[in-house]
């Protein structure tokens, strides 16, 4: 695995070296003796630009080394050349990195690009749309927030904590619209997820203070 990661890390330069050697062999001995080196060089360059180095991100992500993750992302010179599912993942990670820095405008831009491309997995698409919905709500755009969160629920959300966030957010949107029956329905769905994260639990407790007083 480490050897494969080293190959990916230096793939661009190794591919250039293979092509330079292929040219030298071609001049001295002819095309066919150099064919394998040409083939290796071209395949290496194609995989560098069309697949990219995203495989290298897993280890620093697990270690929490976000500086290394960002450094690896910055080695993608032409994101538009990446194979579509890889490009979607690239923009998702860029969006999450921007959110960690609280650069919400950049996060929204990257996550929208990922969402437009279509996530490789429905769960990732749901997570993207939920994040976009939460950012829209932070900006006070409840209509856009509702649209994104509905899309997230339809796409499917991988974990119960995030699903609870989606439902409690929808509950708050419908409370604001004074559609109390729908708000209560979303509140019940949020509680049914049985979240354990303190922030989500506290949010549910806060909303619960008002739910019992609502008509409908």
Provide the pLDDT for residue 1: 60
Provide the pLDDT for residue 120: 60
Residues 194-201: contacts with CB under 8 Å, at least 24 apart: 194/160, 194/164, 195/160, 195/161, 195/164, 195/165, 196/161, 197/161, 200/161, 200/164, 200/165, 200/168
| Residues in the chain, pLDDT under 70 | 1, 119-123, 216
C-alpha dihedral, 101 to 104 to 110 to 111, nearest 10°? 110
Give the CATH fold of the 64-157 domain. Answer: 1.25.40
Concatenate the DSSP letters of all residues of 91-125 into one string. Answer: HHHHHHHHHHTT-HHHHHHHHHHHHHH--SSHHHH
Q: Where in the chain are the domains?
A: 1-50, 64-157, 159-216
Q: Which of 175, 178, 169, 179 is nearest to 199 (CA)?
A: 169
pTM: 0.73
């Amino acid at each position: 695995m480490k050897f494969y990661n080293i190959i990916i890390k230096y793939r661009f330069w190794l591919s250039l070296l293979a092509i330079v050697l292929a040219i030298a062999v071609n001049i001295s001995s002819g095309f066919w003796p150099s064919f394998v080196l040409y083939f290796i060089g071209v395949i290496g360059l194609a995989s560098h630009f069309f697949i990219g180095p995203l495989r290298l991100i897993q280890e620093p992500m697990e270690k929490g080394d976000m500086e290394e993750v960002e450094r690896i992302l910055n080695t993608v010179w032409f994101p538009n050349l990446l194979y579509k599912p890889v490009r979607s993942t690239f923009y998702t990670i860029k969006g999450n990195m921007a959110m960690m820095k609280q650069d919400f405008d950049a996060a929204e831009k990257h996550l929208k690009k990922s969402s437009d491309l279509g996530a490789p997995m429905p769960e990732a698409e749901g997570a993207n749309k939920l994040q976009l919905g939460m950012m829209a709500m932070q900006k006070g755009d409840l209509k856009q927030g509702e649209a994104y969160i509905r899309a997230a629920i339809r796409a499917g959300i991988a974990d119960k904590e995030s699903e609870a966030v989606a439902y409690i957010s929808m509950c708050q949107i419908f409370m604001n619209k004074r559609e109390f029956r729908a708000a209560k329905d979303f509140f019940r769905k949020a509680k049914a997820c049985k979240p354990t994260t303190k922030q989500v639990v506290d949010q549910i407790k806060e909303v619960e203070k008002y739910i019992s007083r609502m008509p409908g």
